[in-house]
Structure 1
Amino acid sequence: MVNPSLECGSWPVDPPVAPPLLPEQARWFTATLRSKGESADDAWRTWAARLVKRDQVNTELLRSIWEAVVGFDETLARFVEAPVPVPPGTVSVSGSGKETLKTFNVSTAAALMAAAAGVSVVKGTSASVSAVSGSDDVLAEIGVPVLHDPALVTESVLRTGIAFVSYGSFCPRYAARYDGCFRALNPMSFLMPAASLLVSADAFLHGLAHDDVGTAAHGIHAARPDIARGRVGTTLLGPGLRVDELAPVSRTTYADLHWGHVKVTQRVLGGSIGPWRRAVAHRASHRANAAVLLESLRPDATTVLADFVDVNAAAVVSLARPEITEDDALTLVHEARRRGGPARILHSLRETTPRKESR
């Protein structure tokens, strides 16, 4: 049972008024994307850390970053013009990573649970950067293929209800430049994982390891105005302790986007952090993290694991079906769990042999 809210508040958030990158800054950012070597990486990391530390990430900065990356990566630019078609009601699921409490792969489990509840889902994946196991790593352990050709996403969603696709497959040149450069949260974390999943989704769910979820929601909308709805969520568990998911304990903050309008909600929830933290923390190997992921999807999963997954899965369901309440969305998730729906989705994914991918 998810803990009831002890405190709850919501407020609208307008995009912060701030100038875009100055022409010389935009030229520097583009030059950095095109540069190689440790000195260029150090300069990029220093620039990013300064902006995050000084709370200087704003919508116009994110818009400028997106425009620079689209100009840099021809593959991404082509997908901007023609996103991969997916069924109506599809939700894309992404995360910033870089959280200070590393958890088992909750967003991957939540995506599977939401698919079991009848939602079409596209989940972005990557190998681990700052944690023991990334989504690529645990999916390989459980025998689920990750797509590296976006052209295969439509078929996977139609056949199984879900597609796991590499972020970098939509933006290979940018991914080759970015991957391995950052181990800490940076301005690109607010935007790129969600915006670069260039499918014709109706909604997105993005986890962010930072409190400024409103700016992230506005930034994603600036990059992807074609997506009607979205949510950016985060949970602060204590001083310096954060996850990039919606958690059923502590202080959860999320920004809901609806056609350009953003409302931020904050909930302070009851529950003991210590035992919860130990239960959801990532394990020491890919195999162990994969085992926890599978355990979290079982009909008889422990309450801590089930609640964490189900809260995030219900957010996906409510984004896909805005006509129902969040309580109704959670009920659909509970029914899917009780029926063993995730196991059937996993079986279907394992049995599906994708056509040869183009690299």
Structure 2
Amino acid sequence: MFLLIDNYDSFTYNLVQAFYALGHKPVVLHNDDPAVLEMAANPELAMVCISPGPGHPASAGFCPEFLKRLSPKIPVLGVCLGHQLLGLHAGARVEVGPCIMHGKQSEIVHDGTGLFSGLPNPMRVGRYHSLVVRADEDAENPRFTVTARGPEGEVMALRYNDRPWVGVQFHPESVLTPDGLRLLGNFPQSVMGAGSDASDFATILDTLARGEDLSAEMAAAGFAALMDGKMSPAQAGSFLIGLRMKGESALELAHATRAALARSVRVDGISGTTIDVVGTGGDGRNSFNCSTATSLILAGMGYRVVKHGGRAVSSKCGSADALEALGIALDNNPASVAEMVKRRNFAFLFAPYFHPSFANIGPVRKELGVRTLFNILGPMINPARPSHLLMGVARPELVKLVAETLLQSPLYRAAVVCGAGNYDEITPIGPAQMAVLHAGTMTQMTLDPAEFGIEPCKVEDLSVDGKEEAVAVLKDILDGNGPRAMMDMVTLNVGLAIYLLEENMDMALCMARAREAVSGGFGRKVLHAA
């Protein structure tokens, strides 16, 4: 269980959303709620974050007493007022700093360890405070180590010497802290101690060799090291192959997802309901760009789509290839994504631009030459963090695994599908297997196209021969004039996406609306808006 104590601060919402983006689901309690003290003794409590807030830390409700009662084994992150609470708990003075910083950005210099692992140095941070923890450089507190200081020598971060408790005076959740999400993604695994069993690579590898699943701490430490380039090629290859031979667990995939998102390029300015429609690829069918057509038609209907993808790997024409041919630029910078969504209900995030940490993994994957978990990770690491997801997998046994992984994410509503014929989309060929996720619950079911008047088709009816044909077919579909089987396939996927977005609408009506939109050429609107 992850507890976030809210000190009645407007930034608490942003902090919660940042943790949601990393796949965490914190339980939020106000600092004056008596349940806070009960949580200190809760055996299920695994990590704590204490939020920013107004006033002096001594007046922060039950927080001072909570820290007295809390086990020293539970990792704690204090932000701003929470940071000051940790300083106060250690006996340090909290007093007015050399300058008042409210909504201002400054550089800090850090020690590159713990929360700051892999972060730029100096680092730009957003500050909203007048008080600071006092710990002079010539007389530091014996209970903690100062890990970052500001331009005037102010304590900007601290780490306890005897427990995994850390604090930052600045606001990592603020847009004024560009690398804040990555810092939050380093918690708690980076503060658990470099010598602990969970972070020791030999222990991780030995666990995999025994065919045992990694613990949460091991998975977090392993994927952080992998994506930060801290593993040698031999270690990285052993790690990935060990996971494959054992069979990846949902928890391991969830931590891989969190590590990737924490290191992705930040995308701000998008809130509310959004959806991504994406497949893992790997079905080897050379089918047309169904997910791309589905996404554009949904956008033409007025739904907001943030599509994340790349170029072709196993198909003739990937989503990036198709969209580029349609005139949609791939070199979108993070600042323009929200504007594109506002202007045309659609934005495309070209994966290589938004996941620079994958440069540390690419050479190893290429040398291995076999499937690893990264083949199914891509659809789950959209940096825009959509609230809804329609994700396809090419093997039926992956439906439950991926669904259980997504259950550990903050997605509000999602579906994982494997289409008849082992496609990573619903097809007219026959019934699809799928799992629907809603507010933390999973329901497994089948979707039979025949129930919605869709006639069966053959594999060859859905295939294209090269990029040129793929783009031509896609244009026809967006105009409402594509081949029948392909139009039917798009209808099925648009219908399921509507079902996810309109939770009070039954599937039959969703499919009827989808059929009208597909035949009406709604996808053209997006291209014309571009």
What letter is aligned with 2:458? W
Q: Which residue of 1 aligns with 2:426?
A: 246
Deviation at 1:345, TM superposition (A): 1.5
CA distance in 2, matches of 1:311, 1:40: 43
What letter is aligned with 2:433? T
Q: Which residue of 2 aligns with 1:264?
A: 444
For 2:318, which of 118, 129, 134 is the aligned residue? 134
3-state SS in 2 of match to 1:341 = coil
Q: Which residue of 2 aligns with 1:300?
A: 481
Deviations 1:293-348 (A, max 9, x none): 11223323222010111111112222111111122222222222343321121111
Deviation at 1:48, TM superposition (A): 5.1
- Contact 2:280-2:393 within 8 A present in 1 as well: yes
- Contact 2:226-2:361 within 8 A present in 1 as well: no
Structure (1 or 2) with the larger CA radius of gyration: 2
Deviation at 1:178, TM superposition (A): 3.8
Deviation at 1:38, TM superposition (A): 7.1
What letter is aligned with 2:499? S
Label 1:24 to 1:218 Cα distance change in 2 as closer, same or farther (>3 A): closer
Deviation at 1:24, TM superposition (A): 6.5
Q: Which residue of 1 aligns with 2:407?
A: 221
Asked if residue 279 in structure 1 is aligned to residue 464 in structure 2, the reply is no
CA distance in 1, matches of 2:232, 2:319: 28
What letter is aligned with 1:279? D
CA distance in 2, matches of 1:347, 1:99: 32
Asked if residue 145 in structure 1 is aligned to residue 145 in structure 2, the reply is no
For 2:522, which of 331, 338, 341 is the aligned residue? 341
- Contact 1:191-1:220 within 8 A present in 2 as well: no
For 2:504, which of 323, 340, 343 is the aligned residue? 323
- Alignment of structure 1 residues 192-231 onto 2, 5 Å: 192-194=378-380, 196-211=381-396, 212-222=398-408, 224-225=409-410, 227-231=411-415
Deviations 1:47-81 (A, max 9, x none): 45424xxxx2322121232344456x3x45xx4xx
Q: Which residue of 1 aligns with 2:268?
A: 84
Deviations 1:19-40 (A, max 9, x none): 4348677655555442689756
- Alignment of structure 1 residues 38-77 onto 2, 5 Å: 43=238, 46-47=241-242, 49-51=244-246, 56-69=247-260, 73=263, 75=264
Deviations 1:201-236 (A, max 9, x none): 3211111122221221221232x32x2111111124
How large is the Cα RMSD of the aligned pairs?
A: 3.0
Superposition TM-score, scaled by structure 2 size: 0.53
- Contact 1:49-1:186 within 8 A present in 2 as well: yes
Q: Which residue of 2 aligns with 1:353?
A: none
Structure with the largest fraction of helix: 1
- Contact 1:41-1:181 within 8 A present in 2 as well: no
Asked if residue 115 in structure 1 is aligned to residue 299 in structure 2, the reply is yes
Gaps of 5+ in 1: 1-17, 350-359
- Contact 1:138-1:287 within 8 A present in 2 as well: no
The worse-fitting range, judged by mean Cα deviation, of 318-327 and 182-191 is 182-191
CA distance in 2, matches of 1:42, 1:200: 29
3-state SS in 2 of match to 1:328 = helix
The worse-fitting range, judged by mean Cα deviation, of 165-174 and 23-32 is 23-32
Q: Among all aligned residue pairs of Structure 1 and Structure 2, give the percentage whose two residues are the same amino acid.
A: 22
3-state SS in 2 of match to 1:346 = helix
The aligned length equals 312
- Contact 1:207-1:234 within 8 A present in 2 as well: yes
CA distance in 1, matches of 2:294, 2:386: 17
- Contact 1:247-1:311 within 8 A present in 2 as well: yes
Label 1:293 to 1:47 Cα distance change in 2 as closer, same or farther (>3 A): farther
3-state SS in 1 of match to 2:407 = helix
Q: Which residue of 2 aligns with 1:5?
A: none
CA distance in 1, matches of 2:224, 2:434: 31
Q: Which residue of 1 aligns with 2:344?
A: 160
Label 1:39 to 1:269 Cα distance change in 2 as closer, same or farther (>3 A): same
3-state SS in 2 of match to 1:231 = strand
Higher relative contact order structure (alpha carbons within 8 Å, sequence separation ≥ 6): 1
What letter is aligned with 2:401? T
Deviations 1:212-265 (A, max 9, x none): 21221221232x32x21111111241xxxx211111222411111111111111
Label 1:272 to 1:329 Cα distance change in 2 as closer, same or farther (>3 A): closer
What letter is aligned with 1:283? D
3-state SS in 2 of match to 1:317 = helix
- Contact 2:288-2:463 within 8 A present in 1 as well: yes
Deviation at 1:147, TM superposition (A): 4.6
Deviation at 1:288, TM superposition (A): 1.7
CA distance in 2, matches of 1:179, 1:233: 30
